[in-house]
Chains A and B, each alone.
Chain A
């Protein structure tokens, strides 16, 4: 059996058996995550899997069994991840959320985590429907789509990718759960990004949203998906192969020295470092009822939360013991002079 550079097999990145419905898009995402983490040589003990409540949030149990996981409360994956990352900056936070969890009950936390640029991977497994409560619309369901009961969605969907961009996120991607070729390198790039890397993954709900009226069914997404790029991830240690020749590919260097290699598709002039273009392309795709996938926007030169002057922690806070940080009585007396 093959091993990664840590001497670990892929099996060691797997988790417990899934209890989701057979064929659920979320399980495909879990498999791609396992592959990406394995191939990225991420030390399992440094992984912290954090989620809210919902079908997607259950999946933190289905990968990297030996890592710590935290399946918390509905809508609070973002602030819980924020606290965990600030407490121990060595952790690789994998936040898994759903469209109900992030686009409705947790919308405030979602936006503010991105605004702070907490270094982590933030995945939304987006099926447009509340599965665990049996098929109600979520806020990412498209106007005009229907749920299983036939009920019509009257409101515009919340587009999490454009919202992520307006919230200051420097890594915004959309993918389809069934597209391993695109998703695995996307996750690898996300793991190496110096800040919040957000991936909105359309993930069909086989039980409640896989019918004709849904815009997040397997068939709909397959037929209406528009891939922006062929996506490659080049780890720091690897040489850039001829597949990514300059001119035909766009190379984006990440802060740790690794590269994202983007091979343009369909003659597109898309450039993911162009904010305005990305916003308009997202909107165009929405208007044309297509699902635009790939790396939509990237901005590499941002400071993450822990690099600002105000919050510049170097040693993980959890390692700061009393002997190291407790001030003394003399210093207290100095301060108390102001109260005398």
Chain B
């Protein structure tokens, strides 16, 4: 049977180098021309705990996570039973027989094949430490044979991965060869995948959203990044520094950027405000707990109108929650971060390309609107491997907003005067050589020339203008993506659930049910979001959180749609699998109502 869709689960122990082995196998599939994605379901731990790697191959281009697998590769005895539960009946389990599993524990639903992977690794190397790492590499050889991949493609990936270390390349190649040979000699039950299009990925890349975002910041003109280490956002900051060292450093070592690892998130966001106030384009990447700590400064940015960007790679909360699992749980908190009336601009990229683009977009908006912009991705988009078209550097001019230089400023200058009647006032930067340029930025009540006032009318007018500033400039925010039209039913989603939702829609279509689709990319919402909801009899809103946070925001903004929008939620920390959503949509369309 030719397999057009296949999900396999590699179950390992973290800290044993399995991540390298998995990445090499995924990249080999990618180079072979398959549509593939790799999702690392890992523990919050350095070494010794179970970790799973889900790989999906799909001919039609679907890349959502599937919570049911057709093959289990088990390198972890302790989770075999748990892992088997997610394995379709009749599937094969290949396990490391050096782990001495008890055949009495085997379930009748699956076929078990033991391979002495550790012994194979020992053929290559003697040091116990290296054996541990190479044992994982042997299964790459096993899988290469089972899926009939071109061994040379895999070898090339290994060479590219460890290119600066020829000895490491050699050992890994030998380990892969051992696994490959063993499989050839012992198994004839290989898997016949669909014939790949060898050119499919010629112009594509396979990468995670944090790397793409980091590059997007370098290309989008980010002068300054401050951060405090937190999973799953750390790699965004690390990659920003890595690529800036490469791309934003002069030959004499002069840096055209700055990256500061702060003492905590309170300082990380405060440094961004200091830099933004001084006129630099500045950002801090973080995740939920960091976002909470940044709340007070978020209000300062909003009220004193200082450009700033927070890039929140969401993980599962509340509290420390599941730090290595994915969720969209920070949406309402981001939208209204801080005390008092603060409604922020929130941007939500949903693809690797958008992670790249939104670097420049968020920095532009922060300077144009002179306010905090919060970008929300999540662990799934930020840290997992997604195929994407080649990233393209933007040809657009960076938008620096309304800044008066020394020649433009005069005695009439008032920092908070709405000269253009669009809510956006002109600002000056410290260092501007004109005595009229200086003003006093404050988080306290202020009048047009930024002096302190407790005047009730002025306070009201100021808060109203700030609201107008954002609401009348929604068109500058990224437009929602939509497809299909004039059908009665629709699905609305945001961020990383895009692949699962589009696959659901395709599956429904195959059953004769056509539904429209919209992916929201920004809050506050564009007018067309409201039009879209009004134009459909029923719309299902997909959230990766318990409370249906996007659903609530839509109802808050468009209360007249209350009987037309339905909330679908998924919040177990794993990426969305389409099956539950599909069932839910069918039920709602068939006449299900609000529970």
Point out residues on A near B: beta carbons under 8 Å. Answer: 12, 16, 43-46, 48, 50, 60-61, 64-73, 75-76, 78-88, 90-91, 108-109, 111-112, 116, 309-318, 320, 322, 324-329, 331-333, 335-336, 338-340
Q: Counting CB contacts under 8 A, is B444 at the interface?
A: yes
Q: Which of B266, B274, B444: most chain A CB closer than 10 A?
A: B274
Residues of B within 8 A of A50 (CB): 274
Contact indicator A66/B438 (Cβ below 8 Å): yes
Tell me whether A45 and B256 are in contact in the complex, defined as CB-CB below 8 angstroms, given that A325-B221, A328-B393 are known contacts: no
B490 within 8 A of A: no
A79 touches B270 (CB 8 A): yes
Chain B residues 217 to 231 lying within 8 A of chain A, measured CB to CB, are: 218-219, 221, 223-224, 226
**Does B206 interact with chain A (Cβ within 8 Å)?**
yes
Residues of B within 8 A of A43 (CB): 433
Q: Which residues of A contact B300 (CB under 8 A)?
A: 72-73
Min CB–CB distance B151 → chain A (angstroms): 19
Closest 6 CB pairs of A and B: A83-B274, A79-B270, A83-B271, A68-B430, A87-B280, A79-B267
A83-B282, A84-B275, A88-B280 known; A327-B255 Cβ under 8 A? no
Contacts of B442 on A, CB cut-off 8 Å? 70-72
Question: Are B205 and A84 in contact (CB-based, < 8 A)?
Answer: no
B432 at the interface (CB under 8 A from A): yes
Flag if B223 contacts A48 (CB, 8 Å).
no
User: Is B435's beta carbon under 8 Å from chain A?
Assistant: yes
| Interface-central residue, B248, B260, B434, by most chain A CB under 10 Å | B260
Q: For the complex, is B458 an interface residue (Cβ under 8 Å from A)? A: no
For residues 404 through 425 of chain B, which have their beta carbon under 8 Å from a beta carbon of chain A?
none
Taking the closest CB of chain A, its distance from the CB of B212, in whole angstroms, is 9
In the bound complex, do residue B443 and residue A72 qualify as a contact, i.e. CB atoms below 8 Å apart? yes
Q: How far is the CA of A309 from the CA of B255 in the complex (A)?
A: 9
CA distance A71 to B277 in the complex (A): 12
Q: Are B430 and A339 in contact, with the CB atoms below 8 A?
A: no
- B104 an interface residue at 8 Å Cβ cutoff? no
B265-287: CB near A (< 8 Å → 1, else 0) gives 01110111111111110100000
Chain B residue at smallest Cβ distance from A45: B433
| A-B residue pairs in contact (CB < 8 Å), sample of 9 | A46-B430, A60-B440, A68-B437, A72-B300, A313-B255, A329-B393, A335-B215, A338-B160, A340-B205
Smallest CB–CB gap between B556 and chain A, Å? 28
Q: What residue of chain A has the Cβ atom nearest to residue B439's Cβ?
A: A68
Nearest-CB distance from A57 to chain B (Å)?
10
**Interfacial chain A residues near B126, Cβ < 8 Å:** none
Which residues of the other chain, A, contact B215 by a CB distance below 8 angstroms?
332, 335
Closest beta carbon of chain A to B498's beta carbon, Å: 20
Q: Which of B248, B264, B278, B433 contacts A318 (CB 8 A)?
A: B278
* Bound CA–CA A12/B438 (angstroms): 13
- In the assembly, what is the distance between CA of A318 and CA of B243, in Å? 20
CB distance from A7 to the nearest CB of B (A): 13
B398 is an interface residue with CB less than 8 A from chain A: yes
8 more contacts with CB within 8 A, not counting A66-B437, A111-B263, are A48-B431, A66-B435, A71-B441, A72-B443, A311-B255, A312-B255, A315-B254, A317-B256
Number of A-B contacts (CB under 8 A): 227
Instruction: Give me the interface of B with A, judged by CB distance under 8 Å.
Output: 31, 160, 201, 204-207, 211, 215, 218-219, 221, 223-224, 226, 243, 246-248, 253-260, 262-264, 266-268, 270-280, 282, 296-297, 300, 390-393, 397-398, 428-444, 451-452
Residues from chain B with Cβ under 8 Å of A339 in the complex: 205-207, 211
Cβ–Cβ contact B440 & A69, under 8 A: yes
Given contacts A71-B442, A91-B278, contact A311 B206 (CB under 8 A): no
How far is it, in angstroms, between the C-alpha of A47 and the C-alpha of B274 when the chains are bound?
14
Q: Please name the residue on chain B nearest to A70 by beta carbon.
A: B441
**Contact A336 B279, beta carbon cutoff 8 Å:** no
Q: Is the CB of A317 within 8 A of B430?
A: no
Selected from A71, A76, A111, A320, the residue in CB contact (under 8 A) with B297 is: A76
A78 contact set on B, CB distance < 8 A: 267, 270
Which residues of chain A have C-beta atoms less than 8 A from B219's C-beta? 326-327, 332
CB-CB nearest in chain B for A43: B433
Which residues of the other chain, B, contact A328 by a CB distance below 8 angstroms?
393
CB neighbours (8 Å) of B436 from chain A are 66
Partner of B274 from the list A79, A333, A335 (CB cut-off 8 Å) is A79
Contacts of A82 in B (CB 8 A): 260, 267, 270-271, 274
Q: A48 and B256 in contact (CB under 8 A), knowing A76-B267, A82-B271, A318-B429? A: no
Complex Cα distance A331/B249, Å?
13
The answer to whether A332 and B391 have CB atoms under 8 Å apart is: yes
Contact of B258 among A16, A46, A86, A91 (CB under 8 A): A86
State how many angstroms separate the Cβ of B251 from the closest Cβ of chain A. 12
> What B residues does A84 contact at CB under 8 A?
274-275, 277-278, 430
Q: Are B397 and A322 in contact (CB under 8 A)?
A: yes
B61–chain A nearest beta-carbon distance, Å: 18
| Complex contact B223–A327 (CB within 8 A) | no
Identity of the chain A residue whose Cβ is nearest the Cβ of B452 in the assembled complex: A61
The residue among A46, A48, A112, A326 with the most chain B CB atoms within 10 A of its own CB is: A326
Contact A320 B223, CB 8 Å, known A325-B248, A325-B256, A339-B205: yes
Asked if residues A71 and B444 are in contact (CB atoms below 8 Å), the reply is: yes
Contact check, B273 vs A72: say whether CB atoms are below 8 A apart.
Answer: yes
Q: Which residues of A contact B270 (CB under 8 A)?
A: 72-73, 76, 78-80, 82-83, 109
Which of B205, B277, B432, B437 is within 8 Å of A70, CB to CB?
A: B277
| B275–A86 CB distance below 8 A | yes
Q: Kindly state the separation between the CA atoms of A184 and B253 in the bound complex, as whole angstroms.
A: 38
B267 smallest CB distance to A (angstroms): 4
Q: Is the CB of A83 within 8 A of B297?
A: no
Q: How far is the CA of A90 from the CA of B431 in the complex (A)?
A: 8
Which residue of A79, A83, A324 is within 8 Å of B224 (Cβ)? A83
User: Closest residue of chain B to A324, judged by CB?
Assistant: B256
**Chain B residues, Cβ within 8 Å of A313:** 254-258
| Cβ contact within 8 Å between A88 and B441 | no
User: A83–B275 Cα gap in the complex (Å)?
Assistant: 4
List the B side residues contacting A87 at CB < 8 Å: 223-224, 258, 274-276, 278-280, 282
In contact, B205 and A327 (Cβ under 8 angstroms): no
For residue A333, give the distance in angstroms from its CB to the closest CB of chain B: 8
Give bound CA distance, A336 to B223, whole Å. 22
Q: How far is the CA of A339 from the CA of B270 in the complex (A)?
A: 34
Which residues of chain B have C-beta atoms less than 8 A from A88's C-beta?
278-280, 429-431
The answer to whether A79 touches B266 (Cβ under 8 A) is yes
Least CB distance, B287 to chain A, in whole angstroms: 19
A86 touches B224 (CB 8 A): yes
Which residues of chain A come closer than 8 Å to B278, judged between CB atoms? 48, 83-84, 87-88, 91, 318
Q: Would B440 and A71 count as touching, CB distance under 8 A?
A: yes
Q: What CA separation (Å) do A320 and B255 show in the bound complex?
A: 11
Residues in chain A near residue B452, CB distance under 8 A = 61
Q: Is the CB of B262 within 8 A of A79?
A: yes
Which of A91, A112, A329, A339 is packed against the most chain B CB atoms within 10 Å? Answer: A339
Looking at the assembled complex, report how far the CB atom of B405 sits from the nearest CB atom of chain A, in whole angstroms. Answer: 11
Shortest beta-carbon distance from B413 to chain A in Å: 11
Structural contact, B430 and A67, CB atoms closer than 8 A: yes
Are the CB atoms of B243 and A335 closer together than 8 Å?
yes
Give the distance in Å from the alpha carbon of A219 to the alpha carbon of B211 in the complex.
Answer: 61
Q: A15's closest neighbor in chain B, by CB? A: B440
Contact partner, A86, options B260, B273, B398, B444, Cβ 8 Å: B260
Bound Cα distance from A146 to B431, whole angstroms: 44
Contact residue among B264, B272, B276 (Cβ-Cβ distance under 8 Å from A108)? B264
- Is A329 in contact with B274, judged by CB distance below 8 angstroms? no
The smallest C-beta distance from A116 to any residue of chain B, in angstroms, reads 8
Complex: how many Å from CA A332 to CA B214?
12
Q: Do A48 and B430 touch across chains, with their CB atoms under 8 A apart?
A: yes
- The residue of chain A having its C-beta at the shortest distance from the C-beta of B397 within the complex is A322
Across-interface contacts of A315 in B (CB, < 8 A) = 254, 256
Contacts of B253 in A (CB 8 A): 309, 312
A78 to B267, alpha carbons, bound, how many Å? 8
Report chain B residues within 8 Å CB of A45.
Answer: 430-435, 437-438
Smallest beta-carbon distance A117→chain B, Å:
13
